[in-house]
Amino acid sequence: MTTATAAPRTNSPRPHKHRPDTPETTTEPRRNPPTFLSDPYPTLARMRESAPVSVLHGDGGLRLWIIPRYADVRAALSDPRFAQDARRAQALADSRVEGVNMGTDITHMLSSDPPDHTRLRRVVQAAFSRKRVEAMRPMVERITLELLDGLDAAAARHTTRTTTAAVDLVRDFAFPLPILVVCELLGFPPEDRDLYRKWSTTIVTQEGDHAAFRRAVQEMGAYVLAIADRRIRRDERPADLLTELLAARERGELTDDEIVGMVALLLIGGHETTVNLLSTSCLALLREPGQAAWLRADPTRMPGAVEEFLRYDSPICMATTRFTTEPVDVGGVVIPQDEFVLLSLGAANRDPARFQDPDRLILDRRDAGHLAFGGGIHRCLGALLGKLETEIALTALLARFPGTTLACQEGDLRWRNTMMLRGLEALPVTLHR
């Protein structure tokens, strides 16, 4: 799961020479260039090797400090001096530049610090316990098999004697799986899943269109409250998470805005990470069919392989924006108070100081400890569910279609235009039983 609020829009940094005792300074182009989107790791490696902290100047000149090294990122994730309160962040941004959206339109855990964060997380954390997540296994397996049957049928309808049809694994598998799981978890209509995806894309990527961002937030808020009001009027209390949230509101533990924010976080965060993880994992296995065969030979290897997929191509490249509440020394570079900071999970998970041969996909890797789900009090609440979905999905996909191949040139693949997330817009493949 990822946040329902994106970082301020930033694009690929371009490193410049700097003195060893100073942070690397970079200036962003207007949009993320295709080379960075398709492979950000050379740029992140240069930043990591050059200095413990780099400075990125984003739209409007807003200064962002990027921390790329594993040890520093891990420490910062648990350091309360790196705050995440969206309202304080917005006031700070407004004092620097105009038109930067820090996500104050949505109230949720990732945009809060204690005590609000503690209160909000306590309301839902039991729903994502190991026991509750494991109980979802049959439901995830059922949805997975239904989607694979759909892929089978779609391929059969468009296959002739001379051509084999391609399907889009993002559109037809990686996206619907986690969103259908979240719909069952919340008790939301699965037929509205394309609407959820539209809101999610607008809210997470932003691309500088603040009006579209606010419109998506307002539409989602009205939608959530309409479902809640309909349940109350009809006295419907199904055994799902929305019912638990409404009960918390009755106890005075949540406001309407906080219910909307919680649902937004679950709807958007509940599928974004898994969609991206599934798409990049499938692409990695298409590149290396030998490793796919190794997994098919023994499906019990899949949980460990998912951990490596998370490290190798982290679905969240940059953690949500933080700001310093006092000066912080990071590797000998002092970040002043009231500065915005991005923690590069993607760079940290490829740090050779922590992982041996980090740019290689090694599915039986022994050096665990990736930071793909963040850390500290803001560690992803849905990490167990995301891993369960990915394990089940990849195991079933490999078993059903062992000879799957990429249906285009890899250079033609389109990546999502955001520095924060790492995922494919589409993944066309040719399915072979």
Mean pLDDT of the 239-249 span = 92
pLDDT of 19 higher than 60: no
Proportion of the chain above pLDDT 70, given as a percent: 88
Tokens at 385, concatenated: 């569910």
pLDDT of 52 higher than 70: yes
- State the average pLDDT for the chain: 87
Looking at residue 18, its pLDDT comes to 37
Band (pLDDT 50/70/90 cuts) for residue 207 is low
The span from the CA of 429 to the CA of 407, in Å, is 4
Helix H, strand E, coil C: the string for 114-153 is CCHHHHHHHHHHHHHCHHHHHHCHHHHHHHHHHHHHHHHH
Whether residue 20 contacts residue 432, with contact meaning beta carbons closer than 8 Å, is answered with no
Looking at residue 28, its pLDDT comes to 40
Q: What are the residues whose beta carbons fall under 8 Å from the beta carbon of 235, sequence distance 6 or more? A: none
- Residue-range domains of the chain with CATH: 24-430 (1.10.630.10)
pLDDT of 10 higher than 80: no
Sign of CA dihedral 26, 32, 35, 37: positive
Looking at residue 111, its pLDDT comes to 84
Looking at residue 214, its pLDDT comes to 84
Phi, psi angles (nearest 5°) of residue 364: -105, 35
Q: What are the residues whose beta carbons fall under 8 Å from the beta carbon of 275, sequence distance 6 or more? A: 170, 174, 175, 178, 179, 423
- Quick: pLDDT tens for 318-352: 998 999 999 999 999 999 999 999 999 999 999 99
pLDDT of 275 higher than 50: yes
Tokens at 110, concatenated: 């990732």
Looking at residue 29, its pLDDT comes to 35
pTM of structure = 0.88
Looking at residue 7, its pLDDT comes to 37
Sign of CA dihedral 280, 285, 291, 294: positive
| Higher-confidence position of 158 and 283 | 283
Looking at residue 287, its pLDDT comes to 94
CA 61 to chain centre: 26
Band (pLDDT 50/70/90 cuts) for residue 367 is confident
The span from the CA of 117 to the CA of 114, in Å, is 5
The Cα angle at residue 419 between residues 365 and 357, in degrees rounded to 5:
20
